[in-house]
Amino acid sequence: QKEVEQDPGPLSVPEGAIVSLNCTYSNSAFQYFMWYRQYSRKGPELLMYTYSSGNKEDGRFTAQVDKSSKYISLFIRDSQPSDSATYLCAMTALQGGSEKLVFGKGTKLTVNP
C-alpha cells in the first residue's frame, strides 16, 4: 500500500460546482497536511496547510483532516475556471530525526465555464 493515495482523476465540473478532492494515507506519523495547486507547466504552489485533525477555511477553500480515518479533503466552493489545475496533497512526518514529506499523485481538475 502506498503511503499516500490520491485519485488522479481527471475531474471535470461546471463553473459554480462544489469540488471535493481527497487523499488517504497509511502512515499514522503524518502530522502536517498540505494542499498544493499546480497549473499546467508551472511549479506547485502551496494552497493550504493544517496540523492534526480539524477544518481550516480560506475563502472558497476548506481543508479537512480526519486523522482517525487517515483521510484528508479539500473542498472548493463556487468553483471557477481559474481553479482548473492539478491539486496535490502532501503530508509530513518526523522520522529518524529528519522530516519526511510525501506527495500524492495529484488530481487534475477542470472547471468548465
Partner 1 sequence: DTAVSQTPKYLVTQMGNDKSIKCEQNLGHDTMYWYKQDSKKFLKIMFSYNNKELIINETVPNRFSPKSPDKAHLNLHINSLELGDSAVYFCASGDRASILGANVLTFGAGSRLTVL
- When the beta carbons of 56 and 70 are compared against partner 1, the nearer one is 56
Please give the DSSP secondary-structure letter assigned to residue 82.
G
Phi, psi of 69 (to 5 degrees): -100, -5
Please give the DSSP secondary-structure letter assigned to residue 84.
-
Please give the DSSP secondary-structure letter assigned to residue 81.
G
- When the beta carbons of 8 and 16 are compared against partner 1, the nearer one is 8
For the window 5-44, what string marks contact with partner 1 as x by the rule CB under 8 A?
---x-----------------------x-x-x-x--xxxx
Looking at residue 67, its amino acid is K
Q: Which of 22, 62, 73, 92 binds partner 1 (CB under 8 A)?
A: 92
109 in helix, strand or coil? strand
Q: Which of 46, 53, 66, 80 binds partner 1 (CB under 8 A)?
A: 46
Site size for partner 1, by CB under 8 A?
24
53: left (phi over 0), alpha (psi -120 to 50) or beta: beta
Residues that bind partner 1 (CB under 8 A): 8, 32, 34, 36, 38, 41-46, 49-51, 86, 88, 92, 98-99, 101, 103, 105-106, 108
